[in-house]
Amino acid sequence: MFAALPTSPMILLATDPAAATTEVTEPAFEWMTVTALVLAPLILVFLARSRGWRPPKRHGHFLPTPWRLSPMVGPILFGVSMVLGGIGASIGSSLIAGDASVMTKNVVVMWGGLGGALLACVPAAVIWKDRPAPLNAARPMGWAAGVLAAGLMLLIAIPLVQAVSAIGQFVQTWLSSEAPSNIAHQTLRLMIDSPRDLWWWLLAAGAVIGAPILEEILYRGFIQQSARKVGMGPWSASIITGGLFALMHLSAIPTENRISALSGLAVLGVGLGLLRERTGRLDACIYAHAGFNLFNLALATALT
């Protein structure tokens, strides 16, 4: 698993699939899978008994998180962000020399897409500053509590995502008789096979810092809160947003990995949505998302 930008189709135009051949060593992968499959049921039992995942309630009703956009503003800004991200990626692509390396092309296109997409988030910041929080909104956690909640969510999500992905791999192998790759994202494959030069670190910064910031604003900020404001509950809003979050990574995932990768990303997306509801803080989702990407990058580079 490795989260991608919404503009990943343009980024991957510069990727040479033949250049990515490294795989996670089989014993290490099997050890991780067995550990995750053992931990996942224990985590589910813990969540069921503690009910710590539940968003705040008042008078029996779930409270909305303190987001201040109207229902239609979120989807509009989401769409504008996609368009501007594509334009930024195209501009970056046009500035790349023809003999540039695959890594250089990916970095320039990624940061061009990030810069363009983040421009659409500026109006949201202005609106948020000028509008009061809804009167019935849940009180946000403090910053320190939000960080702790993000860390706890990450510890819970990693085994669950790994376990669901392992089941997805089994299903995909059963359906296609083709064993999925252990590296389920094109950008991650490229980083594993590339030298640790300046361009590598710039791509890592985009994946670990830039992409989580942008994606959490788009999905847990714009889409999820719009869904909540039209009357959806926290679970249904988190599931819909998590599903969209997973599907938007489709072009960055090899065909043989789609069932396992998309199912794992959907679990991660739902978890991030519930974290948003529980804490009332978008930055907590960014920390957890960044930690997840960093974990995957560090693990893949350490085991290959």
pLDDT digits (tens, 9 = 90+) for 106-158: 999 999 999 999 998 888 888 877 788 777 788 889 999 999 999 999 999 99
21-30, 81-90, 117-126, 223-232: the lowest-pLDDT one: 21-30
pLDDT of residue 5: 36
Q: Which pLDDT score, from 0 to 100, does residue 14 have?
A: 34
Rounded to two decimals, what is the model's pTM?
A: 0.88
The predicted pLDDT at position 25 comes to 56
In this prediction, what percent of the chain has a pLDDT beyond 90?
49
With beta carbons less than 8 A apart as the criterion, state whether 292 and 268 touch. yes
Tens of pLDDT, residues 247-286 = 998 887 878 788 888 999 999 999 999 999 999 999 999 9
Range picked from 94-98, 225-229, 237-241 for highest mean pLDDT: 237-241
Question: What value does the mean pLDDT take over residues 183-211?
Answer: 86
Is residue 214's pLDDT more than 60?
A: yes
Residues 232-248 have a mean pLDDT of 94
pLDDT at 27: 66
DSSP string of 82-109?
A: HHHHHHHHHHHHHTS-TT--HHHHHHHH
Angle 206-80-234 (CA atoms, 0-180°, nearest 5)?
80
Question: 44: how many CB neighbours lie within 10 A of its CB?
Answer: 13
> What tokens were used for 97?
């020399």
The Cα-based distances of 106 to 99, 119, 149, 250, 282 in angstroms read 13, 20, 33, 18, 28
Higher pLDDT, 192 or 199: 199
15-24, 44-53, 76-85: which is most confident: 76-85
Among the listed ranges 5-14, 21-30, 94-103, which one has the minimum average pLDDT value?
Answer: 5-14
Average pLDDT, the chain: 84
pLDDT band of 161, cuts 50, 70, 90: very high
Does the structure show a pLDDT above 90 at 41?
Answer: yes
What percent of the chain shows pLDDT beyond 70? 87
Strand partners, 61: 58
55, 274 Cβ separation under 8 angstroms: yes
